[in-house]
Amino acid sequence: MNRWKVQLWGWGLSGLVVATPVWAHGGEDHDHEAPAPVLSQPVQPRAVAQSDDFELVAVLGASELTVYLDRADSNEPVSGAHIEIESDGFKAEGVAQGEGVYGMPAGALAHPGRHALTITVESDAGADLLDAALVVPQAASGTSGTSNGVWHRTPTWAKLTALGVIVVGLVAGGRMRRQPREEAQA
């Protein structure tokens, strides 16, 4: 086989290996609609509860739980309420921070996991007992970030095949280069 044919085969196989991740695969709908917007900041963990009288949203910050309380029928903020939240040994009372906004230390709720919340609300509009769940995800590890690139989605067998083809191409190319030198020396 001529030297140029071996090199052509090597380049052809290398091109196939490089193009392997581009081949069609499942999960593509090709709908040409605009992709959903990507959030520039992570969404803070939150819990939502609703009754006939109240709507409540609790948002977990770094060290504080902020509670937003509205009337269910009018979406009007509820000021002057007494809010108490309990969960597995955690108990805190809300301190008014604004119209319908209450804050309290997060305490044990800041730890990763699912926290079942029992929320007591007392105001001029009435009193209610609400249930909610606050799910706090695991903190990000010390990596520089996750990548959704093609290399990370490519199966291991395809990576090993690519490596094998590249090695075979390099070895074959090296042998073809040495062959004319060996003939010249003989």
**Model pLDDT for residues 87-111, shown as the tens digit of each residue:** 988 899 999 999 999 999 998 898 8
Tokens of 102: 């209450």
Between 18-22, 62-66, 125-129, 142-146, the lowest mean confidence (pLDDT) is in: 142-146
Q: What confidence score (pLDDT) does residue 141 get?
A: 37
Kindly indicate the confidence band of residue 150, based on its pLDDT and cuts at 50, 70 and 90: low
Task: Return all residues near 177 (Cβ < 8 A) that are at least 6 apart.
Answer: 3
DSSP type of residue 172 = H
- Say which residue the tokens 């040994």 belong to: 89
Distance CA 130, CA 114 (A): 17
Task: Name the average pLDDT for the chain.
Answer: 80
Residue 49 burial (CB count, 10 A) = 21
What average pLDDT does this structure show over 58-67? 91
List 132's β-bridge partners, or say none. 117
DSSP state of 45: P
Tens digit of each residue's pLDDT (9 = 90 or more) over 153-180:
778 888 888 888 888 878 777 766 665 5
What is the predicted pLDDT for the residue at 127?
Answer: 92
- Structure token pair of residue 107: 């305490």
Whether this prediction's pTM lies above 0.85 is answered by: no
What pLDDT sits at residue 158? 80
Are the C-beta atoms of residues 69 and 120 closer than 8 Å to each other?
no
